[in-house]
Structure 1
Amino acid sequence: MTASDNPLAHGIGGSADLPISPSLAIAGAVAALVVSFTVLALAWRTPRYDSSSSGRPAWPWLDRLVHSSAWRVGLRVVGFVVFAYAVMVAVLGEDQLTNPIFGIFYVWWWVGLVPLSLLFGPVWRAISPVRTINLAFARISGSDPEVGMLEYPRRLGYWPAALGLFAFVWLELVYPFSTELGPVRLWCAAYVAIMLIGGALFGNSFYERADPFEVYSTLVSKMSVWGSSREGRLLVRSPLANLATVVAQPGLVAVVAVLFGSTAFDSFRESSVWVRYVQSTDTSSFLLNNLALVVFCVGVGLIFAAGCMLTGVAPGTDRRTLPDLFAHSVIPIVVGYIVAHYLSYLVHAGQNTLIQASDPFGNGSDILGTGDWSVNYWLSYHPTLLANIKVLAVVLGHVLGVIAAHDRALKLLPRRHQLTGQLPLLFAMIAFTVGGLYLLFAS
């Protein structure tokens, strides 16, 4: 089986499908960040995004639809049907890459959540099968699914979600048997069990903070135009205003560090430099990849935290709180780099999964009517367009991150440090930009 035939052979593609100058792209990206910061320093001198008042009400008919019982139940049904189908093919299907469970797990679930959340808001919260099961248990027992037996500890914050996300990327990127059915089934079973136990103990607040996929989807959805008021009404906001509504919680930096660091590691492990090194040493490649993944995730977190803390603050302000308060500014960077890294993978492997899903047991059936389809590789046949989209996604993500950080700095930092205090964080973002684009071309 060649890499192109393997639905799990993913990546950003290397210089072969990025027919533009790496040095020109990197220089242009750095210039864009510096110019953006300069313009902001001159023209953006007061905070513009107030999470309590930004946004306008959505169309009344749309608000009624989104909050209707039929809409909510319909989404739950869709999510549970896909979940039941995935369980069926995972339990009864053959241990081969033609089993659609691998595409559902690695492509639709992991990568597909990004465009869905960007377009429609926090999708996983609406379709999550573990929320549906927890709701069913609550109805049977006569309890309230919102309230568990215990109160979720605030100090835990997003840390469980960060650990869950790391467990997923470790399975996908490091574990040598990630394309075997047994490990995937075990991971999913553990996820469902932990989520159901957590929901029973802490109620739905557990999913909001500890479900790795709900946290992932919700943070990405902050770059959409959909928000909600304190009264629960559907609002239309600019993505940057929506981004400002991210609530700082312990572990938020860890979440964005895992998302960004793992995506960067996925590029790095495919680079010729890393491949040659792994092949030339006697050290176990499994050990090396484990260490590299940890270094990338921890490194991103430390660089960002240092950039936030190396600034002048008002008397009495604890510098250690700044990274979580600025962490929302990394979300556009994460989204931009995920788009750059996984775009062709999602388009091609996503189609292949839909084809395989029509014949889940390899017996010639055509359940969905897609069995005779073929993958359309149009995007790969236009390498210049693909290259421009990838570079633009990385650059735009970083520019939006600079804007979000600047607006937050105007709120948090004392006036004399509002500009100079942002310089360490700007340097950190420039480092992310250079590193991201380098990896984009190196793999």
Structure 2
Amino acid sequence: MDGPRTDAADEPSRRLARPVRVVAVAVVVVAGTLAGRAVAHSGGLRGVAPESLTVPTWLFLATGGGVVGASFLLASFVTDRSFVRRLDTWRGPTLSTGRVLRLSGRALGLVGLLVVLASGFAAGSVTPTDPIRNATTLVVWVGWWGLVVAATYLVGDVWATLDPFRTVAGPLPSLDRSYPDALGSWPAVAGLLLLVFVEVVTPLADDPRLLATVVAAYGVATLAGAVVFGAETWFGRGDPLARLARAYGRIAPLERTADGLAVRLPGSGATSAAWVDGRDDAALVVAVVFATTYDGFVGTGLWQSLARPFVAAGVPPLVLYVALLVGGFGLFYAGLAVAGRLARRTAATYLTPAALVRRFAPSLLAIAAGYHLAHTLGTTLSLLPTTLAVLAAPLTPPVAPPTLVVPSWIGGVGIAAVLGGHLLAIWIAHTAAYELFPDRMQAIRSQYGITLVMVAYTMVALWIVTTPGGAPPYL
């Protein structure tokens, strides 16, 4: 893979400029469309405020970053290349997935979609408008965002079977237009950022009818993509939710094969760079990491303080949220690009920074998974009994609002999830480096940059998880 240096590879910011502009334009267009609906997000399903820390915040964050740095030092002692390769390629027994199981999963996905649409559009007439008593809100945020997404990285890519839009797209006729190579994964990147933006700036979590409308609009858009380019092509490259699930599935212990599901060690599916073949795929990984960070950061007091002088000066809040989305995503990607440049320098290799970015980017998926679990676990567990009760009797939900009870150990599990995700990311990067470089010290030195990025991500994630949050301000 070694090759000559190229000026283009040394300028990641220039390469990122056009895609960022595309994302920005898409977000601005939707922001303008939704401006009339952008009322205050009540934060009813944004989770329960974390417990206060009993140690200074700076000490806690420094300790978390130190744990990641120390884990890199410990991983550096594992220099037996054959041992690393055996762990990475180990596969357990293959679990058969019968036709009945696959059909049952598809049927479950279709039923879930029908419940979301029916309960959402009937809100106020047949079903309650209260988000924590409406099946639409509970199925989407507890069932899908809390349980299904978590299952994709804790178990395997279950969304590939459950996805109702993929099921509907299967029998539809296709125009079989050639998918432009220039598009790559950028539709999925823009779509993922757009979805999290819409969730933040609208009362999506608190308005079942609006939520059902967005789900229906998403379905129309993704089915249109499947009809134009073919279902396999669109869901393999352009669909945001399918690409999100496939990316998370890379760190899961179950791998889908032609014979069924193969057992593997967690994270071993992310060590291969075969599926990250361009800056668009690397940007998709960054978008997965940044999406949950953005959703958590906008509810903090720091964001409120940063935005206050601009709002007082007359800057529309939506403009600030767009700027934070595009600027934050660009900052996260820039951190990865810097890691690639630093890896090239410290490893003394002729591999371009872009090639090194593609090789180390998949390790960040473990970070995203850990933060997602920490971000959603409390809300999911507290609302799961209510969700099951509402689904059991969707037309006669409990009259009294449910009492949200979060176990006292949730805060500790969230912190452990963040740190665990980062430790797994260190090992994935370590494995990738040993596959890439023949010299042991060269492999170790190549990880300096990505480790620094991981330490920074760790401290940001831990700060957000342990900071009392609320609804995004000024909307």
Please say if 1:75 is aligned against 2:105.
yes
AA at the equivalent of 1:214: A
SS at match of 1:311: helix
Q: Distance in 2 between matches of 1:120 and 1:373?
A: 33
Is the Cα contact below 8 Å between 2:65 and 2:458 reproduced in 1? yes
SS at match of 2:262: strand
In the other structure, the counterpart of 1:259 is: 288
Q: Give the CA deviation at 1:262.
A: 2.6
Match of 2:299 among 244, 247, 270: 270
Please say if 1:403 is aligned against 2:436.
no
Please say if 1:35 is aligned against 2:70.
yes
Summarize the Cα distance change of 1:360–1:171 in structure 2 as closer, same or farther, 3 Å threshold: farther
In the other structure, the counterpart of 2:376 is: 342
Is the Cα contact below 8 Å between 1:256 and 1:330 reproduced in 2? yes
Match of 1:93 among 103, 123, 128: 123
AA at the equivalent of 1:169: V
AA at the equivalent of 2:217: A
Q: Distance in 2 between matches of 1:311 and 1:358?
A: 54
Summarize the Cα distance change of 1:324–1:371 in structure 2 as closer, same or farther, 3 Å threshold: farther
In the other structure, the counterpart of 1:437 is: 462
Q: Distance in 2 between matches of 1:240 and 1:352?
A: 33
Is the Cα contact below 8 Å between 2:200 and 2:295 reproduced in 1? yes
Q: Give the CA deviation at 1:53.
A: 4.7
Is the Cα contact below 8 Å between 2:247 and 2:285 reproduced in 1? no
Structure 2, unpaired ranges of 5+? 1-41, 469-475
> What TM-score results when the alignment is normalised by the length of structure 1?
0.83
Q: Give the CA deviation at 1:322.
A: 2.3
Is the Cα contact below 8 Å between 1:169 and 1:262 reproduced in 2? yes
Is the Cα contact below 8 Å between 1:20 and 1:387 reproduced in 2? no
Q: Give the CA deviation at 1:173.
A: 1.2
In the other structure, the counterpart of 1:420 is: 445
Q: Give the CA deviation at 1:183.
A: 4.1
Please say if 1:109 is aligned against 2:109.
no
In the other structure, the counterpart of 1:211 is: 239
User: Relative to structure 2, which stretch is displaced further, 218-227 or 392-401?
Assistant: 218-227
User: Relative to structure 2, which stretch is displaced further, 350-359 or 154-163?
Assistant: 350-359
Identity across matched positions, percent: 22
Q: Give the CA deviation at 1:373.
A: 9.7
Q: Distance in 2 between matches of 1:7 and 1:271?
A: 12
Q: Distance in 1 between matches of 2:256 and 2:306?
A: 50
Aligned length: 412
RMSD: 2.9
- Matches for 1:5-404 after TM superposition, within 5 Å: 8-11=44-47, 13-16=49-52, 18-19=53-54, 21-46=56-81, 48-49=84-85, 53-58=89-94, 62-63=95-96, 66=97, 68-94=98-124, 96-98=129-131, 99-137=134-172, 149-175=176-202, 179-181=206-208, 183-200=210-227, 201-229=229-257, 231-245=258-272, 247-250=275-278, 251-280=280-309, 281-282=311-312, 283-312=315-344, 317-358=351-392, 360=394, 365=396, 374-375=402-403, 377-379=405-407, 382=408, 385-404=409-428
SS at match of 2:130: coil
Cα deviations by residue, 1:371-409 (Å, 9 ceiling, x for unpaired): 889456141xx1xx2222121111111111111111111
Q: Give the CA deviation at 1:125.
A: 0.7
Q: Give the CA deviation at 1:354.
A: 3.7
In the other structure, the counterpart of 1:3 is: none
User: Relative to structure 2, which stretch is displaced further, 401-410 or 264-273?
Assistant: 264-273
In the other structure, the counterpart of 2:32 is: none
Summarize the Cα distance change of 1:209–1:404 in structure 2 as closer, same or farther, 3 Å threshold: same
Q: Give the CA deviation at 1:289.
A: 2.2
AA at the equivalent of 2:122: L
User: Relative to structure 2, which stretch is displaced further, 100-109 or 293-302?
Assistant: 100-109
Cα deviations by residue, 1:206-236 (Å, 9 ceiling, x for unpaired): 112222222222222222211144x444211
4+ residue runs of structure 1 moved beyond 6 angstroms?
A: 370-373
Q: Distance in 1 between matches of 2:155 and 2:69?
A: 32
Q: Distance in 1 between matches of 2:391 and 2:399?
A: 8
